[in-house]
Amino acid sequence: MENTKNQLIKLLKDNHVVKYGKFTLSSGKESNYYVDMKRAITDPIILTKVAEIISEKLDTNDVDKIAGPALGAIPIVTAVSILSSIPMLMIRKEKKGYGTSELIEGDLQEGDKVIVLEDVTTTGGSLIKAVKAVSENGGLVKKAFVIVDRDEGAIDNLKKEGIELEPLVSVNDFF
């Protein structure tokens, strides 16, 4: 698995996913680097590698659905769903005001065991919102995966919510 992690780090580096400069993060914090995961999740080779790594870590007998928040996690969720044959859920940032007005798209049943995926985490705020959306709609979330964790509190913040967050790589792997 360590070799696979190193392959992923090399792919991310080769695709210049980490950018240096002055950036404002979604958490509002300033940073001297930015993890541009949209570059990664739109690349079929990286997306395939990520899906392979996550699929290998899943106990398919203990997972009913794979979910992720729009927009960044949806390609990851889709790729893992296809590779693992586990149905997926898409979590909107907010309910739409038309059609079914659902916050979660897909077939979430009461008691479904759900794994939540994310592209990058800083404090874990958007991931916690996604987990709460699943929980409030009857799903059971115990674990989440993220491609890159910025090591700025997400793991601890999710642990406080009773969720184990497993990063595929840490931002420190780039430095």
Q: Annotated binding site for orotate, which residues?
A: 122, 150
Cα distance between residue 88 and residue 98, in whole Å? 22
Place of tokens 């404090």: 123
Quick check: 90 and 58 in contact, CB under 8 A? no
Q: Which residues are annotated as a binding site?
A: 92-93, 96, 118-126, 150
Instruction: Give the up-direction half-sphere exposure of residue 20: CA atoms within 13 A in the CB hemisphere.
Output: 3
Binding site feature residues for 5-phospho-alpha-D-ribose 1-diphosphate:
92-93, 96, 118-126
Cis peptide leading into 71, omega within 30 of 0?
yes
Residue 136: half-sphere exposure toward Cβ, Cα within 13 Å: 10
The helix (run of H) or strand (run of E) holding residue 145 is strand 140-149
